[in-house]
Structure 1
Amino acid sequence: MDMATALRDLAVTDETLSTKEKDQLDRDGFLPLPGILSSEQVAAFNARLAELTAAEGERAGLEVHQEEGADRLSDLINKDPMFDVCFTHPRVLAGMGHVLGDFKVFSLNSRASRPGKGLQALHADYGEPVQPGAYRVCNSIWLLDDFTADNGATRVVPGSHRWAKLPGQEMADPRDAHPHEVQLLAPAGTVVIFNSHLWHGGTLNSSDRPRRAMHMAFCTRDLAQQLDQKAYIRSTTYDRLSPAQRFLLDVTAEDVARRAS
């Protein structure tokens, strides 16, 4: 299995994203894809994530990290087949291939910003600057609530992925507003692909409800995953996946056997 075969098997072609969409992703560093999830899918995801949050309690999110002021979950691919769409949707995969070339799953997490919380410093999801075109990580936000101006919608600085700098190198306090930042305002069911080297961060949720989303990230195949799929893969997960899906997770039958031993 190689990248081209995996993408073909998952129905990704050169035309899955238009030239205009690819140009926007290159220029701005983010691309909203409306209507990826139906209202029924959004409701089902929110219900399942609520069940998992309640079941995991204080351990929720520990596989990757926890965050004060937000409810987080990690290792979602192993926790329900319903999450498979997040790492197999052709339009999302087309964006990842455009940004990264050969890639694999980095992690799938959820984040619910609580009322009165959620403000993050502007940051990139990679610890050092990279030159334009040498990108290592690309993310996607799966909106499970409408993202509005007052409920903690993610802010981004368009084009900042091309600056080869981190926010802390340019800003006295990356928690401050940037003069060129915009908020990602869109209805639930939208997926926003964004280059992880783009400066971004959550904003304050001043509403009276959590603001919920999933984050499906991918990385180049030579990079260590945020969640080591080889260490976490369950036999039930492996057995349901196609060869192309296993390739994206970067897991083999030997990994399953090693975990079981």
Structure 2
Amino acid sequence: VPKGQAFRDILAFEESACQQGPLVEKLLRKILGKGFYLGTAHGSIVHQGGGLQDMHQDQGYVPLPHPPYPLAVLIIWLFSDFSLQNGGTYLVPGTHIDETGANHVRPDVEFEKLVNSEPGLCALNAPAGQCFIMDARLLHSGGKRTAPGTRYGLRNLYIRGHMRQQENQFLGCSDEVFEKCSPKMRALMGFRPYNGLGMVNGNALDPAPRKVPVCELSMSRPEELKQDFDIKHSHLAKLAQEGGGKHIEYLGPRAKL
């Protein structure tokens, strides 16, 4: 996220930065549901002789057994040609689910046996400019580059709304970078609630960044209770007013900055 606007636009599926970005976003929404987040994002730069990793799942941090659906999706944007010689990602097709839809990776299953089964290990082979989308349950690893030169890619992991992000976007993003992020990018980073999770001061409907900080309150300081708190401009306050509530003052939508 902090590395530049071009990368932020790719993360947010802006078509100006990534081919068919809106279509990719629509597919992720189909897989992960509405309100998915950015779990982590990083560049993938592989020089000759490098790139090899252990076999793993990208949702391997989730205790087994996994539910019968993906909790995360990996997207690789190919900035260079990917092939066996170029260090294309190693994949084991079919290792995420069996013919019944049940997970292959279970507490009683060893990764090595799945790798050695049919169809076996293969390398991602695709030209630069393509996008590879992968169920995070699929066994894979970084591929070793044997050819001269360098292979470039961008690996973005997106997660369901109830999952903890791998990268702490709140600590990893400076105020300066945050101000450059679009509302959509901020939502993907986690500045948006999901089904009651991520609320701010009890407000889970529209917890925008606070304009008035909430400090310690006491009835000996009634004037402080009259400040222009965000809650007074929230949808929650509007619902309370429409329902006849008298404990929350609704002042209408807050003017956008």
* TM more than 0.5: yes
TM-score (norm 1): 0.61
Q: Which of the two has higher C-alpha Rg?
A: 2
Residues 1-261 of structure 1: matches in 2 within 5 Å? 77-89=1-13, 90-102=22-34, 103-127=36-60, 128-133=64-69, 135-163=70-98, 164-166=103-105, 169-172=109-112, 179-180=118-119, 181-251=121-191, 253=209
Deviation at 1:173? Answer: 7.4
My pick for the range that moved more, 146-155 or 232-241, is: 232-241
TM-score (norm 2): 0.62
| Counterpart Cα distance in 2 of 1:249 and 1:198 | 24
Deviation at 1:148? Answer: 1.6
Unaligned runs of 5+ in 2: 14-21, 192-207, 214-257
For residue 153 of structure 1, what is the amino acid of its counterpart? G
| Secondary structure of residue in 1 paired with 2:184 | helix
Distance change >3 Å, CA 228–CA 159, structure 1 → 2: same
**Greater relative contact order (Cα 8 A, min sep 6): structure 1 or 2?**
1
Deviation at 1:95? Answer: 2.3
| Secondary structure of residue in 1 paired with 2:84 | coil
Deviation at 1:239? Answer: 1.8
My pick for the range that moved more, 192-201 or 180-189, is: 180-189
| Secondary structure of residue in 2 paired with 1:160 | coil
Unaligned runs of 5+ in 1: 1-76
Deviation at 1:177? Answer: 5.9
| Counterpart Cα distance in 2 of 1:211 and 1:193 | 18
For residue 82 of structure 1, what is the amino acid of its counterpart? A
| Secondary structure of residue in 2 paired with 1:113 | strand
2:52–2:143 Cα contact (<8 Å) kept: yes
| Counterpart Cα distance in 2 of 1:230 and 1:245 | 13
* Structure with more helix by fraction: 1
Distance change >3 Å, CA 153–CA 247, structure 1 → 2: same
What is the identity percentage for the equivalent residue pairs of Structure 1 and Structure 2?
26
2:96–2:105 Cα contact (<8 Å) kept: no
| Counterpart Cα distance in 2 of 1:245 and 1:148 | 32
My pick for the range that moved more, 136-145 or 79-88, is: 79-88
Deviation at 1:155? Answer: 2.1
